Structure 1
Amino acid sequence: MEKIFFQELLNSTIEGILIVKDGFIEEINIAMLNILNYDKKEDVIGKLATGILIPNTKKKYLEYNSETYEEISLVSKDAQIIPAIIKIKDLKIKENRYKLVFIQNLTELKKKEMLLLEQSRMAAMGEMISMIAHQWRQPLASIAAATSNLKFRINLERYEKEVFSKKLSDIDKYLQYMSTTIDDFRNFFKSKKEKELVSLDEVVENSLEMIEKAFENNNIKIKNNRVKLPKIYTFKNELLQVILNIFNNSKDAFKEQKQEEEFIVTINYKDTQLYQSIEICDNAGGIKEEIINKIFNPYFSTKDKKNGTGLGLYMCKIILEKHCSGQISVRNENRGACFKIKIFK
């Protein structure tokens, strides 16, 4: 009777459950069989638990329903890799000691996460188009001025070779600059998923090249206390997206301030045995203390609905934690907000 009740109790949960003794699977519930795509308990009971549960090379943890779980991978019957979270409890029945393993399938959650990431990248694309407009406005105006000058001279039949050569050379220079700008932004949107050996200070420099015109147009000064950092393996484009998002947040925060003092964004770097860090600070008034702990939550935005999706900083957190072995934090300091990005080695 007790055994039947115990079986019904195990099978009533939506979580997958394994009972493990001395490393071998003693019992499994129906939810876990469905996750692993097995038909019968007998196909699993008696096998080593490590044949099904694959821990990550680096331990990762996830908050889920106010509980902390470790992220792992599962191997299904058809050898598919399934993302999951796991929590283990010690269990003693009479004189026997067991491990009670609770498992939650993350497949659907990961799909939603990828959709959010794509939505975030689309929002970033809008920002990029705006930045291209800023980058191109001046060279286009210069090209227009040069061509008008040449047309004027043609109408007057003044064909000075040196003047024409100089104007055409200037036009070529402006076109080369515009072409380089397009290459920079095109590289940002490449769906490259391999880690690259990059220097974090170079990634910051790349992002500054993309946003400098927008900063100039908003009278924002950049103080880049650049330190040459050793190169590390990480996802460059994802990290670039995070840094650009923080810069854009500073730019938007400055727009809401009256310029009573110089607008400044300061960038500092640090290299330790465990991690490298980038700290981006502004003097745009900071973040209200009552909301500072919420800004990395999904769909939470300090901007109005027209200008904010509430996904930017949330996706920064997801990108750093899930893809770049990093983390992000924020604090108020010196009449502004300071964002700190850590990438662990």
Structure 2
Amino acid sequence: MPPKKVTVTADEALSRALQVLDAPAPDSSLLAEELRLLAGSYHTLLRKLHKTLIISDSYQHQLRQFNTTLTQRVEEETERRLAQERLLAQNAKMAAMGEMIDAIAHQWRQPLTTLDILVQNIREARRQNKLDDAYLNRATDRALSQILFMSETIAAFRKFFRPEKRKELFSVSARVIEAASLMNAQMRRDNITLAVVTQTEDDQTCGLPNEFAQVVVNLLTNARDAILELRRSQSAPGGDHRERDRITVQVSSGPDRILLEVCDNGAGIPAEAAPRLFEPDFSTKKKREGSGLGLYMSRLIIEQSMGGTITFSSSPGETVFRVEVPRGECREEAA
């Protein structure tokens, strides 16, 4: 009957060999057996190590392939997102431009009416032989004043849409007043009182002034739409709403932050819409030409471009949007 094969681990074989070597007079046959076991365990260990190296090489090759494809996927996804951001920004700009064109139409309506009346009066004065130099000078001065107002309106809107490349230091109050002036004609048309309260003169911040003004216009537009929505829901008559319908814009400052608050007493934001309010392509006024981009782009401008925050609180009859931006100088960096 052949001897039973004994299987020992490499550690066990090494321990036994050390015990034999430490003996005072080791038996040569016993030492040879221990060395044989140690050599067998060593070869077994080598075979396992070789297999481990092969598996490790395979894993490393797969990992390199995964890293290569992952980098490519990340680059493709980044480029796709950047392209989407550029498209959304362009769409938001076009939507804002539509609002501004409507505002220009309302700004120009009164001076155009005045010019029409002046021309008709001059013709009537000529027919009645009353067109003397004094009358003509007064009419000309009034006409030139109206034309200057229209020219300044166009200049303001051109400045609003002029692209900017670098951040600069600007006054938050000045931009708020400028944006409010662009919306005044529409507010008057809709019988909405627009009040701007500035509680500080030290409100310099760093950013793109035109983009910040666009944020203010977006917030004012949303506030106006909320008031009009409340009127529609209540079937309110088209009378004088000045005492009731009001938008208040307030600028204040702290030690290191500047706070802008836009408050309206409109319909409020539905609770189910609040979590998605800043998402792209989401709008609470989807059925009425809402693009869903105004608040999304406003958040990008305030948070990413200026390092600030934009939040809101809403209840039926009152909604407040709060924009906080850091006070301070501009660094030498591209916008």
Q: Which residue of 1 aligns with 2:112?
A: 140
1:119 aligns with 2:87: no
Asked if structure 2 preserves the Cα contact closer than 8 Å seen for 1:239 and 1:324, the reply is: no
Q: Distance in 2 between matches of 1:284 and 1:8?
A: 62
Asked if structure 1 preserves the Cα contact closer than 8 Å seen for 2:167 and 2:208, the reply is: yes
Q: Distance in 1 between matches of 2:82 and 2:88?
A: 10
Asked if structure 2 preserves the Cα contact closer than 8 Å seen for 1:197 and 1:233, the reply is: yes
Q: Distance in 2 between matches of 1:220 and 1:12?
A: 62
Asked if structure 2 preserves the Cα contact closer than 8 Å seen for 1:131 and 1:213, the reply is: yes
> After alignment, is 316-325 or 3-12 more displaced?
3-12
Q: Distance in 2 between matches of 1:282 and 1:292?
A: 16
Report how far residue 31 of structure 1 moved.
3.5
Q: Distance in 2 between matches of 1:162 and 1:33?
A: 78
Q: Distance in 1 between matches of 2:208 and 2:271?
A: 32
Structure 1's 127 and 9: CA in aligned 2 closer, same or farther, altered over 3 A? Answer: same
Q: Which runs of 5+ in 1 are unaligned?
A: 14-28, 36-83, 85-102
Q: Which residue of 2 aligns with 1:283?
A: 265
Deviations 1:42-77 (A, max 9, x none): xxxxxxxxxxxxxxxxxxxxxxxxxxxxxxxxxxxx
The alignment's C-alpha RMSD in Å is: 2.2
| Larger Rg over CA atoms | 2
Q: Which residue of 1 aligns with 2:284?
A: 302
Q: Distance in 2 between matches of 1:166 and 1:229?
A: 43
Residue 332 of structure 1 aligns to a residue in which SS?
strand
Report how far residue 312 of structure 1 moved.
1.3
Residue 325 of structure 1 aligns to a residue in which SS?
coil
1:182 aligns with 2:235: no
1:128 is matched with which residue: 74, 87, 100? 100
Report how far residue 273 of structure 1 moved.
2.9
Q: Distance in 2 between matches of 1:12 and 1:274?
A: 49
Q: How do 1:155-166 and structure 2 match up within 5 A?
A: 155-166=127-138
1:253 aligns with 2:226: yes
Report how far residue 337 of structure 1 moved.
1.1
Q: Distance in 1 between matches of 2:281 and 2:270?
A: 17
Asked if structure 1 preserves the Cα contact closer than 8 Å seen for 2:173 and 2:203, the reply is: no
Q: Which residue of 1 aligns with 2:319?
A: 337
Q: TM-score, normalised by structure 2?
A: 0.73
Report how far residue 286 of structure 1 moved.
1.0
Q: Which of structure 1's runs of 4+ aligned residues deviate more than 3 A?
A: 31-35
Residue 284 of structure 2 aligns to a residue in which SS?
coil
Between Structure 1 and Structure 2, the one with more strand by share is: 1
2:252 is matched with which residue: 264, 270, 281? 270
Asked if structure 1 preserves the Cα contact closer than 8 Å seen for 2:269 and 2:315, the reply is: no
Q: Distance in 1 between matches of 2:71 and 2:304?
A: 27
Q: Distance in 1 between matches of 2:155 and 2:71?
A: 50
Q: Distance in 2 between matches of 1:216 and 1:233?
A: 32
Asked if structure 2 preserves the Cα contact closer than 8 Å seen for 1:200 and 1:229, the reply is: no
1:3 aligns with 2:41: no
Q: Distance in 2 between matches of 1:139 and 1:196?
A: 35
1:199 aligns with 2:185: no
Q: Distance in 1 between matches of 2:191 and 2:151?
A: 26
2:301 is matched with which residue: 319, 322, 341? 319
Q: Which residue of 2 aligns with 1:224?
A: 196
Q: Which residue of 2 aligns with 1:168?
A: 140
> After alignment, is 191-200 or 145-154 more displaced?
191-200
Deviations 1:283-317 (A, max 9, x none): 01211112112111111111134411111111111
Q: Distance in 1 between matches of 2:267 and 2:70?
A: 51
Residue 223 of structure 1 aligns to a residue in which SS?
strand
Q: State the structure with bigger RCO (CA 8 A, min sep 6), 1 or 2.
A: 2
Q: Which residue of 1 aligns with 2:122?
A: 150
Q: Distance in 2 between matches of 1:272 and 1:186?
A: 33
Residue 276 of structure 2 aligns to a residue in which SS?
coil
Q: Which runs of 5+ in 2 are unaligned?
A: 1-53, 328-335
Amino acid at match of 2:274: I
Structure 1's 274 and 6: CA in aligned 2 closer, same or farther, altered over 3 A? Answer: farther
Q: Distance in 1 between matches of 2:281 and 2:154?
A: 31
Deviations 1:195-220 (A, max 9, x none): 12211010000001111011011111
Structure 1's 297 and 33: CA in aligned 2 closer, same or farther, altered over 3 A? Answer: closer
Q: Distance in 2 between matches of 1:166 and 1:125?
A: 36
Structure 1's 6 and 344: CA in aligned 2 closer, same or farther, altered over 3 A? Answer: farther
Q: Distance in 2 between matches of 1:286 and 1:305?
A: 17
Q: Which residue of 1 aligns with 2:215?
A: 242
Asked if structure 2 preserves the Cα contact closer than 8 Å seen for 1:287 and 1:336, the reply is: no
